[in-house]
Structure 1
Amino acid sequence: MSMVALTVNQRAVRTPAEPRTSLADFVRDKLDLTGTHLGCEHGVCGACTVLVDGVPARSCITYAVACEGADITTIEGLDKDAVTSELRAAFTREHALQCGYCTPGMLVSARDLVLRLPQADERAIRIGLSGNLCRCTGYVGIVRAVQSVIEARRARGVAAEPDGGRKILGPAGSGRSEHDGPGRAERVRPAEPAPPATPVASIPDFTPTAVFTQQFSVAHPPAQVFAMFDDIAAVAACLPGASLTAPPDPARVEGAIRVKLGPIAATFSGFARVERNPADMCGRIVGIGNDRRSRSTTQGEIQYRLVPTGEGAATRVELSIGYTLTGMLAQVGRPGLVRDLAERLIAEFAGNLDRRLSGAAPAGADPVELDGVSLASGLLRARVARWLGRFFSNKDGAA
């Protein structure tokens, strides 16, 4: 048992606690401040967010003993806070809460955004609140509430506070506690910025977690299609959302692909290698990329084979697509959704490829970014058609 001395909601506290006790359990069980909610207890959902020396922190993964001498503010300590009062009113006005379980942590994080952001940028607000999960509202009302408070404060001439007052980092937060003393800035060095990501030396093989097959046909002979596939820049121009970021080389292609599905948008930047077998009219593309915004990584493999049809005048392109997705997007990247997205992507690619082989596509045309609205409507029509087909087939069988 250790004696923990800190300041909670402007009140000095000195209480014994086990070294393993989290700050969330400490304020709830020792101080009866149950406005700090526990959800995942893994630092993911944000329900337990409190202020440690004025900086939002996940109290469920912060040890109480690590906050010795720090200034802790829970949601109860913000009752008379002007920014929080404005946010509470805005949350009510914009219907930004339902069950309310996430709301204390959401208000703490939103308060930090109101202080820091120079303007009511929806994208910046959504990124800032991405660590606070809500199972009820869909976030629209929450974002509107935060936007309205920022707009109102900036209109009144209340300027943004750069970095929210953060000066140094440490186990007790930003180091702005009254207990820190003048020497703390020298004792705790600022966190050094992460070094820039270096490109991988090689693109390794991998075992995909999901594999599916697709095919499409073009009215051109296999030899012409295979020669087209050797032009990496032309192939990238045919793929919606794709672009090259460096001169292509078969052993190492550097590029990016943009995907947008409704409110979900990602840009995967990475590298790929291209393998070709002219004797069998087949090839393989292996790549790896990451989306910095969502901290998601994907590995992909496309194997293709060209089959002559129409007495050699046309080509059927048979594809085997394997992928592995990790990170935040893996939570929404269900195999069925990825397969539907790939179907649309391949259909767009096939049309662009056919036009380019026919000489109709302009050189250097900008890639088309996928639109989630049209994709969703197309998928809905296709699925309704399948459901109706099953219904009538079952009805005829029953008759």
Structure 2
Amino acid sequence: MTMIALTVNTRDISADVEPRTHLADFLRDKLNLTGTHLGCEHGVCGACTLLLDDAPARSCITYAVACHGARVTTIEGLDDDEITTELRAAFAREHALQCGYCTPGMLVSARDLVLRMPSADERDIRVGMSGNLCRCTGYVGIVRAIRSVIEARRQRGVASIVGAGRTLLGPVGSGHGNMSDSRARVAAKTTVGQPPATSDSAISIEDFSPEHVFEQSFVVLHRPADVFDFFGNIPAVAACLPGASLSGVSTPERTEGTMQVRLGPIAARFKGAIRVERDPAILSGRIVGVGTDQRSRSFTRSEIRYRLVPDEQGGGTRVLLSIGYSLRGMLAQFARPGLVSNLTAAITADFARNADRALSGLPSDGGACDNASLNFVALLGNSMRHKLRRFFRGRRRGENE
């Protein structure tokens, strides 16, 4: 998988794609922009035509990874476009469509002709539209519709634009689009799995919908208010989390750092950032994070929602967790949901134990989170070791009684 960043219909998009994925498939399957139609899939029929860096291009033979940093406009992005609006009305008036399958590509190509043709010459229109095939209309209505729009615009004093305003040579999608400084940085710096940076060089943390969600809970023997205050201390929380370390200056709302993890044969070091949201009124919070491991070419987004409630049985506080994540790259081949669920349970147990000790003013007990990476086998073994220790302590306590 390869991470690409591009602009689609004025929206900044970052996504993982297979290197073999064509732009048309990416738009239809990943972004649900199904107005881009697939016909021959050989670049002949023109049904898949869209604008790439403002130039008409065949999306069925263009690789999505080749469009990194480019500006893509599909037929959906032309809803409010003045020329396209006039062309749609003309197509309807001149009966320039029947089944409509070729129409999105026709409109995109026709728009380019309206922009740059100085006069409505029928021969030039037929030559200009020769790359768009129609099996229904016989083309007469299509040519008539385009001619009528060109004539009407020239009569209104709207002049043609030489080259449709394109001033740079080179293949479309090659990065010649007018990107903002921040988008240019993305195009220059983003590598496989790397989240885009914002204009102040900070890692962008956007909301997302997790692909997998797990529910966890644990109890600490401290008051909910104290636990909530502790959760607001990011350095203290990171010190109790296996494999975590902070970099730079932390604020109550945001911090950056790394997380080391080992799943199967792969060791990864995710570098990223988290955003913290807290609601003191209901003692709840949300932590959204992104991270990239360059070595394994993996990228992850995670979300932790927590709520603190009094523990009715043993006193203290029950921490209710909802943990969601999405993972791309090599690690995704190993990190099956069942494995991640078990790993999450082991991490939660280790964090709960260390958080309880931190709240009590005690040092860590030497568990897996002392400057170690997240190793599933080690964490699971550590968890089993503590469970057995508690079991035998309970038995000895029962025998003494």
Same fold (TM over 0.5): no
TM-score by length of 2: 0.44
TM-score by length of 1: 0.45
